[in-house]
Amino acid sequence: MRATRVVEGLAASTPFIGPERLMRERGMRELVRLGANESAFGPSPRAVAAMTAELERLAWYGDPDSYDLREALAGRVTCQLEQVLVASGIDELMGLCVRAFLEIGGVAVATRGTYPTFAYHVTGYGGRLETAAYTSEGSPDLDALAATARRERASIVYLANPDNPSGTFLDAQRVVRFYEALPPDALLLLDEAYADFADPAQLAPPCFDDRLVRVRTFSKAYGLAGARIGYALTTRTNAERLERVRLQYGVNRNAQIGALAALQDEAHLAWVLRETAAARAEYEALARELGTTTIPSCTNFVCIDMGSAAFATEVMAALLDRGVWIRKPGATPLDRYIRVSAGTADMRRTFAQAFRAVTAERRSIATP
Amino acid sequence: MRATRVVEGLAASTPFIGPERLMRERGMRELVRLGANESAFGPSPRAVAAMTAELERLAWYGDPDSYDLREALAGRVTCQLEQVLVASGIDELMGLCVRAFLEIGGVAVATRGTYPTFAYHVTGYGGRLETAAYTSEGSPDLDALAATARRERASIVYLANPDNPSGTFLDAQRVVRFYEALPPDALLLLDEAYADFADPAQLAPPCFDDRLVRVRTFSKAYGLAGARIGYALTTRTNAERLERVRLQYGVNRNAQIGALAALQDEAHLAWVLRETAAARAEYEALARELGTTTIPSCTNFVCIDMGSAAFATEVMAALLDRGVWIRKPGATPLDRYIRVSAGTADMRRTFAQAFRAVTAERRSIATP
């Protein structure tokens, strides 16, 4: 009994080790979760109330069309309902895009070291990933990405904006210019997981073209990561293509209900954005205090420069020993940073104490 | 911009129209849901309580390893934790199996007219589905299935046991004999969505072989269809293969919590099984009263013979007009039946009234 050639050829790998596994392996009972850019500020109380009221009806499947949520999203974005596709998070939507637009042996392009689940899907569906490095400032290098896409005749180009793990943001004008520089038969998969944290005036306006799929989520600013729900914005043609292979009943019924209520609670979102900005400012001040710098972030996380990849790895491990879970970028030039998610004031205090202790115990941070 | 050859070649089709769409299209506000074999008896109150307590923490991703639930399932089934794979329902697990074991152009075999999502995955991943008809008694025809699998050199053979939509059950001995008659390089994908309704003593004992993947769900007897959570039982080798392409963070955090609590509430399960048996008995009596028969069912639904496919379709539509939603098998020889899910006493009363009226208004049921 053999698996398919593609699956047989894959290395056993997971894009991420979950914090629960780290805790199990170390016998830890608690962990300050600052590693997955979850919202420490939680879901909207209105979303929690709406979901609580409906838990007894969880024996019913959710609406396979996610109609009510798509209607609300279409109204918010100003597009047709048929241009909105709801699935169980951006991870699933990226998989659908790869499946629908990348042939076995086809090439996809992304920034080296960006959100790894895209690469996971590309190799998982038998494609090949080509990458372009971040700029020295830590932004995706749009010129290098477009050149790589043209050279490799890429079928899909992945861009996270705001970017993960750098936190940098490219304004509408730069994204549009990049889009126009791509090969005419390449799909731009624009991962806007963190778009809710960006300045709406700077965000590329949703444009609808068969060569563009935008994906968004309720996991970050809306605080519903555990619910698994996100959406794609694209043309009717593309939505209908993705629909042909989408898991019809893949979305949790309560996630649909929670997402709809969360979308309507603008006060909670505004509060989360304020708290997130406060957390970023605090991390930046902490970095200055310790004699280092951060990458300006438009997201709910901040990259702090540790001077070298080895020291960044050491600090991450030492923080874990002290019960603080963060992550770090894996590829140069960002691998000398640690990435810390916005926490509540309490979580920030715990992180700051541990971070000060960990760096003081060792040598000071020497930025190159 | 073109989609992949496989996706471009697919017809736009959905395995199921959801009841919500039927209601929207007809402007209905209520519907008695007896069409999707959901549990009208609801989830365990202990599961609801456990999920309610954790909704505020839905901002955290669930454990990507579903460790606690897999540990509990492994203990229940008596296997190793590494042989259990949790995903967002059997639908996702079937997709993973097709992706891992069926090459583009490869052949899968199933009973004609069985649970359509398997066929959806086979064609969606570029495979070809070959079918064998049900026996005249409404059981999967194991001899014909095995012969088709051998003739077509099938990579995957799908068998639902207990079967959907017939409700029939094949005991352990027959399943094992069937398994042994399959080609030596074919995977048996055993869909045990309704296994909780069958006599455990008659159920094939979980055996672990690379040629066998069993899939089970919390959607039926456990009343958690809306939560989207199910599991596969197989060898460590196969689990590791499926793990290479599984959506790591695909499972809702609250679904993990609810499923674990539901598994521990044996009293609720026992009550659901008793209520389901009462519902089946009532449907059988109703069929006798109206001069027709049912297929003996080991599930939470019953097929009632309407004499002809045309009349079954007419009755289904007429029931919908009266606010009662059921489904019917689509392929001969089962297409002359309607399929009714076990409802609560209230739902059964509504169905019985509507069913009596609908058949009385028309002609009597003439079974061939």
Query: Which residues, at least 6 apart from B200, have a Cβ–Cβ distance to it below 8 Å?
Result: none
Asked if the domains A45-265 and A267-361 are classified in one and the same CATH topology, the answer is no
Nearest to A59 among B43, B101, B104 (CB): B43
Whether residues B224 and A58 touch (CB distance < 8 A) is answered with yes
pLDDT at B364: 61
Interchain CB contact of A255 with B (< 8 Å)? yes
pLDDT at A366: 59
Residue ranges of the domains in chain A?
Answer: 45-265, 267-361
- The tokens describing A172, both together, are 């509408």
CA B136 to chain A, closest CA, distance in angstroms equals: 31
CA A187 to chain B, closest CA, distance in angstroms equals: 7
Q: Which residue has the higher pLDDT, A210 or B206?
A: A210
pLDDT at A262: 98
Best residue in B24, B155, B249 to probe A by mutation, most A CBs within 10 Å? B249
Q: Per residue in B48-71, pLDDT tens?
A: 999 999 999 999 999 999 999 999
Preceding omega of A162 cis (within 30 degrees of 0): yes
Using the predicted structure, report yes or no on whether residue B361 has a pLDDT greater than 90.
no
Domain A45-265 has CATH 3.40.640.10: yes
Whether residues A103 and B13 touch (CB distance < 8 A) is answered with no
Answering whether pTM is above 0.80, one says yes
CA B307 to chain A, closest CA, distance in angstroms equals: 30
pLDDT at A207: 79
Q: Per residue in B220-265, pLDDT tens?
A: 999 999 999 999 999 999 999 999 999 999 999 999 999 999 999 9
Using the predicted structure, report yes or no on whether residue B121 has a pLDDT greater than 90.
yes
Rounded to an integer, the average pLDDT of B180-193 is: 97
- Show the CA angle centred on residue B199, arms to residues B194 and B205, nearest 5°: 85
Interchain CB contact of A236 with B (< 8 Å)? no
Q: Per residue in A183-230, pLDDT tens?
A: 999 999 999 999 999 998 998 777 789 999 999 999 999 999 999 999
Closest C-alpha among B224, B217, B218 to residue A254 = B224
The strand ranges marked E within chain B are 32-33, 84-87, 107-111, 128-132, 156-160, 187-191, 212-217, 230-233, 301-305, 324-325, 337-341
For A55, name the nearest residue in chain B, comparing CA atoms only. Answer: B48
pLDDT at B362: 81
Using the predicted structure, report yes or no on whether residue A306 has a pLDDT greater than 60.
yes
pLDDT at B208: 82
Determine what percent of chain B is predicted with pLDDT higher than 90: 93
Q: Per residue in B1-27, pLDDT tens?
A: 899 999 999 987 777 889 999 999 999
The strand ranges marked E within B115-241 are 128-132, 156-160, 187-191, 212-217, 230-233
Instruction: Count how many pairs of residues, chain A against chain B, have C-beta atoms within 8 Å.
Output: 245
Nearest to A64 among B18, B124, B249 (CB): B18
- Place A367 in a pLDDT band, splitting at 50, 70 and 90: low
Q: Report the top-level CATH class of A267-361.
A: alpha beta
ipTM score of complex? 0.96
Preceding omega of B140 cis (within 30 degrees of 0): no
Rounded to an integer, the average pLDDT of A137-150 is: 97
Chain B partners of A67 at a C-beta cutoff of 8 Å?
20-21, 24
pLDDT at B365: 63
Nearest to B240 among A12, A38, A238 (CB): A12
Q: Per residue in A32-67, pLDDT tens?
A: 999 999 999 999 999 999 999 999 999 999 999 999
List beta partners, residue B129. Answer: B108
Whether residues B187 and A252 touch (CB distance < 8 A) is answered with no
pLDDT at A224: 98
pLDDT at A365: 63
